[in-house]
Structure 1
Amino acid sequence: MVLPLVPLPSSVTESTGALSLTTATRIIVENDADAAASVLADMLAERTGLRPAVTVDTVQPGDIVVRRTTRQGEKYSLRIGEEVQLEGSDAGLFYGIQTLGQLLATDGEGGRLPHVEIDDAPRFSYRGVMLDVARTFFDVDTVKAFIDRASSLKFNHLHLHLSDDQGWRLQIDSRPLLAERSSTTAVLGRPGGFYTKDDFREIVRYASTHHMVVVPEIDLPGHTHAIGLAYPEIVEAPVMNDGLLAQSSALEQPLPVAGEPYLGWGVGHSSVKIHGGATWEFLRDVLTELAELTPGPYLHVGGDECLGTAQADFDSFIERVTALTTELGKTPIAWHEAGSAQVAEGTIGQYWGSTTPAGTHADDARRFAERGGSVIMSPSNTAYLDQKYDADFPLGLDWAALIDLQTAYEWEPTTIVDGLPSEAILGVEGPLWSETIETLDDIDQLIFPRVAAIAEVAWSPAETREWVSFRDRVGALGAVWDAAGWEGHRPTEIAWSAR
């Protein structure tokens, strides 16, 4: 039997037999595991139609025991025999429930769980997905649905790309014109929008209940055209580049014009005024409010594709903005180009280059580790969830690569940047940029099933990962996604189960 486990646990031992879940099944709570027991009861009710009683009692055959431990980290153990024994910290219990949900087969009268012993822990501490809400705005419910999908695969960070040339997406009390003037549109003239502070707090709260940390990004000093709609005094006039001109012509998209919403998706033309006093007053206001809203340890400050900014000015800006972020009590994250600068000690780099680094990309990434930081691996030709599966796929772009499921799976984070110690890799992130998507269905089409491949790269031991095994397991997992209504793309090379 192929167990539909993705990401693959550290240790799995199968045995014969199965445990049936019936109306007599109970959830036995031990050591204050009430929150996890409630999550499990909700999942079982949704999947089987049965809601087990949650109680503190003597364990009987057929029961599910949920035991909270005081050990730190995300480890858990799951034993399924005459009863179920699930043990872990708060996060570990949550991840164990996701594993149990993958194993659960329903038959209309309850459910069945195979006899198995699992001991599990993640390879990397940072396992992220990114949602670009700047180019296309997605409401709070859609972000929550994205969290549901990601957390089911044991991702623990949600990177929200909150600003770009096409729009600004967060209420800032000290800078009210951002919501009033910079949030009204999106790419190709789609409807705009922004999150109120209460909206953002609700996203953070919901993410926390799914053991995900929100990582907000304000992209700087480039990707800032929308800021100029509200505060033109701090933004430079657009600087055209050959790539922007060629893309605009090929796609019949407008070029950026100062003071007008930018509806295309070309990059590299915008910048804040690097040395302006008003710029730094603005940034202190914005980043202070964002830090106050964000309970997690990170603020992402961008740093990519500043094609019209002189290198010395860019380096000066990055040095200053990472220092400001540190001063506000947060660890800065920046795209790998920022490694050219003297980033603040401990700044984390996010590598988005190819698995075969070009130009200075590898050097830039290494410098984060040299300055006491670490690196998140997001190679664009394997981990970018917005790229097309094949040339004919109706959604997505293809500037980085055509990324089929096997390509998304078969890469190793530690072999990309020569000289970067494996211990300096904080983790893995799969970004979803939103130029071509508008709905939750569109999101599902691009992330499923590739997000499962990224999840396994981030969680499972490198020595156990193998394409044929993953192909079979993800095919069996498709029925779980179907039951949840997460239809997505179903590549024909996978034997999808209707279990």
Structure 2
Amino acid sequence: MSALGLVPWPTEVEPRGGELDLSAVLVVSADPLRWTPLAGELFTPLGVAVTGAGPDALAEGAPGVVVELRRDDAAPGGPEGYVLDVRDDGVTVTAAEAAGLLHGMRTLRQLVTARRTVPTVVVRDSPRYAWRGLTLDVARHWFGPAVLRRVVDLAGTYKLRVLHLHLTDDQGWRLEVPSHPELTQRSGHTQVGGAVPDGERGWLTVEEFRDLQDYAAARFVEIIPEIDVPGHTNAALHACGDLNPDGAPTPAYGGIEVGFSRLWAGNPATEPWVRDVLGDVAAMTAGRFVHIGGDEALTLAADEYARLVALAVDAVRAAGKTPLAWQEAAVAAPGVTLQYWDPRADAAPFPRAAAAGSRFVLSPASHAYLDLKYDAGHPIGQDWMGFVDVRDAYDWEPATAVPGLPADAVEGVAAALWTETVVTPDDVFSMLLPRLPALAEVAWTAPGGRDWASFRERVARHARVWDAEGWAWHPTRQVAWPGAAEDA
């Protein structure tokens, strides 16, 4: 397995034993205006010259190796499956859907050596789980559209399909809401420690959010916005004083404690506000889901919590979207898709929620929370759930991660990066790399195809690409980096 540096590891790999010069490619497709720029994004950073053309170019001779993208409804592997065929005379990617074609090109990029050659090989591939994602907190510390596009690129590199943005919390509000402009006017400038950096606005406008979704969709990544209620609401309470029982805005908050803020079900202002905000966000959202949060509402009684979660769920559904919530909502919103994060919690409600129709996205903190430190000496991150080095992110099995949960209730896997201590773009990428590729393999590759000893060698080859892309990364000693001391 480790002879080819592929991550996530594919379903089937058949080496042919040859080698193909890939210093220049002609990408032949039915839609060159779509596919040539995407191919350029992938291969140009590696020094591969990219041109594109329509199918007629196959009869004309090519200024480089022909990489043919071929749609075939009968291709195996479902909507994301693909077959990558690298021969002595060229490359073909065959897939039933466009997403599979891009996955095939991403796999081809991972085969490119420093000499701009690729081994001849046949790869047949399709994912284990449809939901393969990353949750990114931009509320504690703000990261703007340019950084978010780079995160989309990284997510796509490892065939993730979801970027879930945690847009609101106690420290800040990061999305313009037309019905309540005061949310960003008053709470868009604040973050952990005080204010967002000079020169930064601190939130996404409606247009920027649309543009980000369009950028992601072109790379087959769905953006899911999260508006966290009924807890984690101090930024809303600071902007909208009428949400408080006394009608007075709360002070801005720049700390990192959780669980102290809340909405009030009996406040006449609460329901219209929830419906307005979630309705606006749903209207701005191109994808299927709106995440309503639901976590760590520690000062709410169970019955009031259930009323508020039910209100948020109903508001999202009324706006035509599918609600998604953190695991705490299992007792309040049976049937809603739930994101599991805290393995310390009583697991009894989860099988009951699954029986009521809930699907589960697994983000167990002990494996998937990439804001946790790599080790005790790491300068960034927290340690409330211990440490998560790359092997911790890799060595777990989603089908058995939640006690009593049927394996067929698992929708997929999502990493999560919370940003209480993550301040700069380099912090973001160094906390994601190399752990995000580990989780991507957990989500894509069946258990029989995963192997830690192989992964730690395969992922080491990716550092050259991360450097070419300008993505910071952490040289954990658990990975067999070329020329580095090993500590398996």
Relative to structure 1, the CA distance from residue 466 to residue 183 in structure 2 (aligned partners, 3 Å threshold; closer, same or farther) is same
In the alignment, residue 58 of structure 1 is paired with which amino acid?
L
Cα distance in 2 between the residues matched to 1:421 and 1:395: 36
Cα distance in 2 between the residues matched to 1:153 and 1:393: 25
Quote the residue 1:80 is aligned against.
86
Quote the residue 1:4 is aligned against.
5
Match status 1:102 vs 2:110: yes
The answer as to whether partners of 1:351 and 1:365 remain within 8 angstroms in 2 is: no
In the alignment, residue 291 of structure 1 is paired with which amino acid?
A
The answer as to whether partners of 1:227 and 1:235 remain within 8 angstroms in 2 is: no
Q: Shift of residue 37 of structure 1?
A: 4.0
Quote the residue 1:246 is aligned against.
none
In the alignment, residue 220 of structure 1 is paired with which amino acid?
V
Cα distance in 1 between the residues matched to 2:314 and 2:178: 23
Quote the residue 1:26 is aligned against.
26
Quote the residue 2:172 is aligned against.
167
Cα distance in 1 between the residues matched to 2:19 and 2:4: 13
- Out of 416, 422, 426, the position equivalent to 1:431 is 416
Quote the residue 1:263 is aligned against.
254
The aligned runs of 1:181-192 (5 Å cut-off) are: 181-191=186-196
In the alignment, residue 27 of structure 2 is paired with which amino acid?
I
The aligned runs of 1:213-228 (5 Å cut-off) are: 213-228=222-237
Match status 1:119 vs 2:108: no
Secondary structure of the 1:215 match is: strand
Q: Shift of residue 316 of structure 1?
A: 1.8
The answer as to whether partners of 1:225 and 1:235 remain within 8 angstroms in 2 is: no
Relative to structure 1, the CA distance from residue 142 to residue 38 in structure 2 (aligned partners, 3 Å threshold; closer, same or farther) is closer
Secondary structure of the 1:289 match is: helix
Q: CA RMSD in A?
A: 1.9
Quote the residue 1:230 is aligned against.
239
Match status 1:298 vs 2:281: no
Any idea what the Cα deviations from partners look like across 1:128-165, whole Å, max 9, x if unmatched? 10110111111110111111111100110010001000
Cα distance in 1 between the residues matched to 2:44 and 2:141: 34
Q: Shift of residue 49 of structure 1?
A: 4.6
The answer as to whether partners of 2:32 and 2:52 remain within 8 angstroms in 1 is: no
Match status 1:396 vs 2:381: yes
Cα distance in 2 between the residues matched to 1:380 and 1:466: 22
The aligned runs of 1:120-135 (5 Å cut-off) are: 120-135=125-140
Any idea what the Cα deviations from partners look like across 1:447-489, whole Å, max 9, x if unmatched? 1000011100111111111110111111122222222222310
Cα distance in 1 between the residues matched to 2:349 and 2:321: 22
My pick for the range that moved more, 60-69 or 125-134, is: 60-69
Quote the residue 1:91 is aligned against.
99
Cα distance in 2 between the residues matched to 1:36 and 1:75: 18
Cα distance in 2 between the residues matched to 1:405 and 1:46: 26
The answer as to whether partners of 1:28 and 1:54 remain within 8 angstroms in 2 is: yes
Quote the residue 2:486 is aligned against.
none
Cα distance in 1 between the residues matched to 2:370 and 2:399: 20
Relative to structure 1, the CA distance from residue 417 to residue 51 in structure 2 (aligned partners, 3 Å threshold; closer, same or farther) is closer
Quote the residue 2:342 is aligned against.
353
Q: Shift of residue 374 of structure 1?
A: 0.2
Runs of 4+ in 1 over 6 A off after TM superposition: none
Q: Shift of residue 331 of structure 1?
A: 1.0
The answer as to whether partners of 1:221 and 1:274 remain within 8 angstroms in 2 is: no
In the alignment, residue 178 of structure 2 is paired with which amino acid?
D
Secondary structure of the 1:338 match is: helix
Q: Shift of residue 363 of structure 1?
A: 2.2
Cα distance in 2 between the residues matched to 1:194 and 1:452: 28
Secondary structure of the 2:414 match is: strand
Quote the residue 1:148 is aligned against.
153
In the alignment, residue 413 of structure 2 is paired with which amino acid?
V
The answer as to whether partners of 1:374 and 1:424 remain within 8 angstroms in 2 is: yes
The answer as to whether partners of 1:338 and 1:364 remain within 8 angstroms in 2 is: no
The answer as to whether partners of 2:242 and 2:249 remain within 8 angstroms in 1 is: no
My pick for the range that moved more, 71-80 or 9-18, is: 71-80
- Out of 258, 263, 266, the position equivalent to 1:272 is 263
In the alignment, residue 83 of structure 2 is paired with which amino acid?
S
Quote the residue 1:43 is aligned against.
42
Secondary structure of the 1:7 match is: coil
Quote the residue 2:454 is aligned against.
469
In the alignment, residue 289 of structure 2 is paired with which amino acid?
Y
Quote the residue 2:328 is aligned against.
337
Any idea what the Cα deviations from partners look like across 1:279-332, whole Å, max 9, x if unmatched? 110011111111110011101000100110011111122222212212221111
Relative to structure 1, the CA distance from residue 22 to residue 146 in structure 2 (aligned partners, 3 Å threshold; closer, same or farther) is closer
Cα distance in 2 between the residues matched to 1:364 and 1:258: 36
Secondary structure of the 1:66 match is: strand
Structure 1 length-normalised TM: 0.90
Q: Shift of residue 438 of structure 1?
A: 1.5
- Out of 474, 481, 484, the position equivalent to 1:489 is 474
Quote the residue 1:242 is aligned against.
none
Cα distance in 2 between the residues matched to 1:416 and 1:493: 23
Cα distance in 2 between the residues matched to 1:53 and 1:445: 34
Aligned pairs, how many?
Answer: 468
Quote the residue 1:445 is aligned against.
430
Quote the residue 1:252 is aligned against.
none
Any idea what the Cα deviations from partners look like across 1:389-446, whole Å, max 9, x if unmatched? 0011000111112011111100111112233221211110001000011111011111
Q: Shift of residue 258 of structure 1?
A: 6.1
Quote the residue 2:69 is aligned against.
66
Match status 1:417 vs 2:402: yes
Quote the residue 2:308 is aligned against.
317
Identity of aligned residues (%): 37
Secondary structure of the 1:495 match is: coil
The aligned runs of 1:196-215 (5 Å cut-off) are: 196-215=205-224
Cα distance in 2 between the residues matched to 1:265 and 1:86: 47
The answer as to whether partners of 1:32 and 1:68 remain within 8 angstroms in 2 is: no
Relative to structure 1, the CA distance from residue 98 to residue 22 in structure 2 (aligned partners, 3 Å threshold; closer, same or farther) is closer
Any idea what the Cα deviations from partners look like across 1:233-290, whole Å, max 9, x if unmatched? 21368xxxxxxxxxxxxxxxxxxx9621111110110101123221110011111111
Secondary structure of the 2:83 match is: strand
Relative to structure 1, the CA distance from residue 479 to residue 297 in structure 2 (aligned partners, 3 Å threshold; closer, same or farther) is same
Ranges in structure 2 where 5+ consecutive residues have no aligned partner: 484-488
Quote the residue 1:52 is aligned against.
51
The answer as to whether partners of 2:359 and 2:410 remain within 8 angstroms in 1 is: yes
Structure 2 length-normalised TM: 0.92
Cα distance in 2 between the residues matched to 1:391 and 1:430: 21
